[in-house]
């Protein structure tokens, strides 16, 4: 995905350490601790028709991610919720993507980072489809990454933290260089984990069962939890378990879930091919309703 306008050079405002600042002035110094030592935590949210989907859940994860990296967000959850709402109001957005981020500042340029000020910013911009309509219709082409999601005792893997994304960026770039659109990562045990910015699901047993890996070393996505609930309500048997890569041969339909991806059908993983089937389509419609988007408008 490429953007017409670089992110530093746009109109609008960004909430920065408690105040709205003009977009182009929302800067930080090169000797920012978290730029060097991977200490930023962030969120990705979407608003639909002016309402932010699962706002409090994202704010809670934002605070949890910071705690997992041994610092605290210096605001209350209510203040962050209000700041998120204010950025979309001030930027006159209804269907927006929001990006809260927190980081350790410049007081110390050494690993410990003790005494660094914690900064917080929230940006928002017009949301666009993470992948275009053509890919959404035929399903994503995925590469099997050579990078593994790390063990829980090597990194705080339940945090949405910048350091965890290095492998995702490398996997995605490698996939794109080889003509794919995204990458599926296995974990440190060789089990199926997740995509570079989304969780993994597959239908089995003539479309009656929806299987997804247990989130033991990757993000237990808010969309993932929403879709599991929707699938249960729709009568599917939902199974969380260890899934081996060989099982990709038996999958009937495959899709990914994430705030940006929403429900993204997968058409191919390596040599395996999948249809964009009726069960995935049904969950896509249910998700569109759940987030408050008009299904007919989305299809138009
Ligand atoms: C690596 C990774 N896994 C999973 C997800 C899905 O999380 P959510 O559904 O909360 O957006 C995301 C997106 O935030 C992600 O970046």
Domain ranges of the chain: 13-126, 133-299
CB 158 within 8 A of CB 283: no
Residue 114 backbone dihedrals phi, psi, to 5 degrees: -65, 135
Q: Using the mean position of ligand 1's atoms as its centre, give its distance from the Cα of residue 219 in Å.
A: 6
CA atoms within 13 A on the CB side of 93: 26
CB 101 within 8 A of CB 121: yes
Q: Which residues, 6 or more positions from 165, have their beta carbon under 8 angstroms from its beta carbon? A: none
Q: Tell me which of 41, 148, 197 to substitute to probe ligand 1's pocket, judged by most ligand atoms within 8 Å of the beta carbon.
A: 197
Q: Which two tokens stand for residue 217?
A: 């070393």
The confidence band for 128, taking pLDDT boundaries of 50, 70 and 90, is confident
pLDDT digits (tens, 9 = 90+) for 58-76: 999 999 999 999 999 999 9
Q: Using the mean position of ligand 1's atoms as its centre, give its distance from the Cα of residue 42 in Å.
A: 11
Rg (CA), the chain: 19
Q: Which residues, 6 or more positions from 188, have their beta carbon under 8 angstroms from its beta carbon? A: 148, 149, 150, 151, 154, 217
**pLDDT for 297 beyond 60:** no
Ligand 1 pocket, residue 61 CB under 6 Å: no
**Stretch 269-284: mean pLDDT, rounded?**
97
Catalytic residue, chosen from 160, 232, 282, 289, is 160
Tell me whether residue 160 is one of the annotated catalytic residues.
Answer: yes
pLDDT value, residue 4:
75
How many CB atoms are located within 10 Å of the residue 270 CB?
13
Distance between CA atoms of residues 251 and 271, nearest Å? 13
**pLDDT for 95 beyond 80:** yes
**pLDDT for 190 beyond 80:** yes
CATH architecture of 133-299: Alpha-Beta Barrel (3.20)
pLDDT digits (tens, 9 = 90+) for 109-120: 999 998 999 999
pLDDT value, residue 150:
97
Ligand 1 pocket, residue 213 CB under 6 Å: no
The third-level CATH classification (topology) of the domain covering 13-126 is: D-amino Acid Aminotransferase; Chain A, domain 1 (3.30.470)
pLDDT value, residue 298:
47
**Stretch 156-182: mean pLDDT, rounded?**
97
Ligand 1 pocket, residue 171 CB under 6 Å: no
Distance between CA atoms of residues 153 and 5, nearest Å? 40
**pLDDT for 291 beyond 70:** yes
- What mean pLDDT is reported for the chain? 96
Percentage of the chain modeled with pLDDT above 70: 97
pLDDT value, residue 132:
87
Element at 52 (helix H, strand E): strand 51-52
**Which conformational region is residue 2 in: left (phi greater than 0), alpha (psi within -120 to 50 degrees), or beta?**
beta
Ligand 1 pocket, residue 44 CB under 6 Å: yes
Q: Using the mean position of ligand 1's atoms as its centre, give its distance from the Cα of residue 109 in Å.
A: 30
Read out DSSP for 237-297? EEEEE---GGGGGT-SEEEEEETTTEEEEEEEETTEE----HHHHHHHHHHHHHHT--HHH
- Position in ligand 1 atom list of the atom nearest CA 226: 9
Query: Using CA positions, which residue lies closest to atom 5 of ligand 1?
Result: 198
- In the chain, the N- to C-terminal Cα span, in Å, equals 22
**pLDDT for 18 beyond 90:** yes
**Stretch 81-93: mean pLDDT, rounded?**
98
Strands 140-149 and 182-187: parallel
pLDDT value, residue 295:
53
Distance between CA atoms of residues 281 and 265, nearest Å? 8
Element at 238 (helix H, strand E): strand 237-241
- Position in ligand 1 atom list of the atom nearest CA 58: 10
pLDDT value, residue 294:
66
pLDDT value, residue 2:
55
pLDDT value, residue 247:
98
How many CB atoms are located within 10 Å of the residue 42 CB?
18
């Amino acid at each position: 995905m490429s953007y017409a306008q670089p992110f530093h050079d746009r109109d609008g405002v960004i909430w920065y350490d408690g105040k709205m600042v003009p977009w182009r002035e929302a800067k930080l110094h090169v000797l920012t601790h978290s730029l060097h030592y991977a200490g930023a935590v962030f969120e990705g949210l979407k608003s639909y028709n002016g309402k932010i989907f699962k706002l409090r859940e994202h704010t809670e994860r934002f605070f949890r991610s910071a705690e997992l990296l041994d610092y605290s967000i210096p605001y209350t959850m209510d203040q962050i919720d209000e700041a998120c709402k204010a950025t979309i109001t001030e930027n006159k957005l209804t269907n927006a993507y929001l990006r809260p981020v927190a980081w350790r500042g410049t007081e110390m340029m050494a690993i410990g980072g003790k005494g660094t000020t914690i900064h917080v910013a929230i940006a928002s911009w017009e949301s666009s489809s993470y992948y275009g309509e053509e890919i959404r219709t035929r399903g994503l082409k995925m590469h099997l990454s050579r990078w593994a999601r790390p063990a829980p005792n090597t990194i705080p893997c339940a945090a949405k933290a910048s350091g965890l994304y290095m492998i995702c960026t490398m996997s995605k770039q490698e996939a794109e260089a080889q003509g794919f659109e995204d990458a599926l990562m296995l974990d440190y045990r060789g089990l199926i984990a997740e995509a570079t910015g989304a969780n993994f699901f597959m239908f089995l047993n003539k479309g009656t069962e929806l299987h997804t890996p247990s989130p033991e070393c990757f993000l237990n996505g808010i969309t993932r939890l929403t879709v599991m609930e929707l699938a249960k309500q729709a009568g599917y048997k939902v199974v969380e378990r260890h899934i081996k890569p060989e099982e990709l041969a038996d999958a009937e339909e495959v899709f990914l879930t994430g705030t940006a991806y929403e429900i993204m059908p997968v058409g191919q993983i390596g040599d395996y091919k999948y249809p964009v089937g009726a069960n995935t389509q049904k969950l896509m419609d249910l998700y569109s309703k759940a987030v408050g988007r008009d299904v007919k408008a989305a299809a138009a």
